[in-house]
Amino acid sequence: MGMAAAESRFHVLAVDDNIIDRKLIERLLKTSSYQVTTVDSGSKALEFLGLNEDDRNNSVSPSISTNNHHQELEVNLIITDYCMPGMTGYDLLKKIKESSSLRNIPVVIMSSENDSSRISRCLEEGAEEFFLKPVRQSDLSRLKPHMMKAISKDQKQEKHEEDKDGDEEKEEEIKSQRHQQQQQQHHQQSSPRASGNSKRKAMEDNLSPERTRARYSDIAAMV
């Protein structure tokens, strides 16, 4: 499998309110053989990701464009503009990182302003990269390692969950075996006691007055 074929399975969600910048990043991503979905706001990005059900129901004509017309694709990376009306790229970043189901998706911020405090704030919040506009093809070459890392992390978490489930099943099996052993031991302890009672009863029957009296009568007759 070639590099382009390997990268084509990655799906990138691009968020930018400026149509020119949005078309540019879409073209660059497609050139890198990524599957691309573009939206023009942070709220529509959340809608696409399934975090904004109310907006999805109320939206009449959401501006969502995907190059394969399939919105059920798993998103492997989000690249978003910082300055957008309503929800900023920083706000979107926080929403993603606060979501238990989406926090592992890498987020990259783009901005036309080289503001060191802004850059630091985004990186501290969990952004993987901060690109200055206009974004270049060489910038996008830095995306793949972040997606590979996220996939590896997801696989480790899945394996951990599977191991955890397996351990719980083993623990239940051990508890069941212990319970069966306890029942068997209780049964074995009860059996000798019942046997002893039977023997004692038999001895008592042999020593009963009727049997003793009959034995003495036989002796007296012989005398």
- Which residue from 135, 137, 59, 121 is spatially nearest to 88, judged by alpha carbons? 121
Contact partners, residue 32, CB within 8 Å, separation at least 6: 7, 137, 140, 141, 143
Going by pLDDT thresholds of 50, 70 and 90, the confidence category of residue 139 is very high
Q: Which of 30-34, 155-159, 171-175, 192-196 is the least confident region?
A: 192-196
> Do residues 93 and 125 lie in contact, with contact meaning Cβ atoms separated by under 8 Å?
yes
188 pLDDT more than 80: no
- Residue 8 pLDDT: 55
83 pLDDT more than 80: yes
pTM for this structure?
0.64
Residues 91 and 117: their CA atoms lie apart, in Å, by: 15
Q: For residue 37, what are the β-bridge partners? A: 13, 66
Dump pLDDT digits (tens) for 37-82: 999 999 999 999 998 654 444 444 445 565 544 446 799 999 999 9
Is the model more confident about 25 or about 157? 25
Sign of the alpha-carbon dihedral angle for 156, 95, 58, 22? negative
How large is the C-alpha radius of gyration of the chain? Answer: 38
Over residues 133-153, the mean pLDDT reads 92
* Strands 77-81 and 11-15, bridge-based pairing: parallel
